[in-house]
Structure 1
């Protein structure tokens, strides 16, 4: 089974940024043109795009809609998944109606599980659950708060709801280029009957190779951010490795 690579575009103030450990004060700006960045990733051959409205994640409602719509218009043939600030059925319906292939529910899965479960059931295969964890415990509100819920327990709640996937992020690794938390990601993949997309810490082709070797365990894909922007991972080499 090939590993799906999801290059990340994180939006803050309409710009493409990367954070360190989810800290909005530690943002590196990589581009002022998200649509151009999206076109560049699509031209390289990446099969998906992962977009996060960082401002929306903190505000609890969409905050970078213009940038997201520009991305969708720029790459109509490439599927896009979006997370950040999606907290109502109306918002889910609106984004899916605008051409998003998949929405990601993060904080809502913890704060309003009835809504999150209902959304998964209403749009089967179109809603992913983003589980962000610190030391195995779920974090919410743009990672500003840590709950008392085990990440694996939260994942199990969505097994039979029609969720497309679990996107598992290790906050301590995110944006730090320290390598993926393989142990925690594998634990999630083994705990739930859903595809798991790894996120946080990808720094090299070795990380991708390690994840590709676990594809049979339920790890479907991986989100790559800073390592692509900093040139640590060659896109062509990454795509070739993932295809194997």
Structure 2
């Protein structure tokens, strides 16, 4: 199981939000590229990047720090937030991103997900963010009546590389991931599932790895910044 260190970008800085609230942002590093290098030097295999402003505004906002990260490290990175048309997808992949994450458009324009997945095999993931089992869009600001499993299963034949499932109520709260819901989703689809939200200890990572469903990976942010998880130790534990 791959551990994806998260770098959430707001106003050019690396921050963490509490349950998706833009007003509850804690700045952890005003140099996101330096933060990325610290994760890379600790041995991570992937980086998980989110353009928080972009998620709300519907277009890339934090392009400069993302480009700085891509320029400084060769570690593959995936990016979500504000990617809602083919031109933006092509631009980001052309700049060296390994994978784009499509969230809001997966609900509003599923045809784009299918088109992108065909055009860029292995480079398109679907981000499913949910409260109480229902999908939220536009930076988690809008809730829908779409159920997580229904949305995930609708992309079974689309060729997407992964589903990144975030339990919004757990995100940034340091209360542990929603293991039961994540495992249920992973069992319901053949698409690789990456867990996100609430990972606050190495024990949480081990629990996800051993949950009985084959998870592709887990994303952690605040716990790495707060020191609750030592990245080197976590990587070693997951390999052990």
TM-score by length of 1: 0.97
Structure 2 length-normalised TM: 0.98
Secondary structure at 1:219's aligned position in 2? coil
1:186 correspondence with 2:183: yes
- Partners of 2:218 and 2:141 in 1: CA distance: 23
Q: Is residue 20 of structure 2 the alignment partner of residue 25 of structure 1? A: no
Match of 2:51 among 50, 53, 78: 53
| Separation in structure 1 between the aligned mates of residue 148 and residue 114 of structure 2, nearest angstrom | 16
* Contact 1:53 1:63 (C-alpha < 8 Å) held by counterparts: yes
Report 1:4-15 matches (<5 A). 4-15=2-13
CA distance in 2, matches of 1:4, 1:209: 11
Q: Which runs of 5+ in 2 are unaligned?
A: none
After the TM superposition, list the runs of 4 or more consecutive aligned residues in structure 1 that deviate by more than 2 angstroms.
none
Give the match for residue 236 of structure 1.
232
CA distance in 1, matches of 2:215, 2:43: 21
Provide structure 1 residue ranges, at least 5 long, that are not aligned to the other structure. Answer: none
Match of residue 106 from structure 1: 103
| Residue-by-residue CA offset, 1:92-131 (whole Å, 9 max, x unaligned) | 0110010000000000100111112211121111000000
* Deviation of 1:156 (Å): 0.6
Contact 1:123–1:162, Cα closer than 8 Å, also in 2: no
Superposition deviation, residue 144 in structure 1 = 0.5
Note if contact 1:53-1:85 (Cα within 8 Å) is conserved in structure 2: yes
Q: Distance in 2 between matches of 1:236 and 1:61?
A: 34
Native 8 Å contact 1:89 1:119 kept in 2:
yes
In 2: Cα distance, 1:72 partner to 1:39 partner: 10
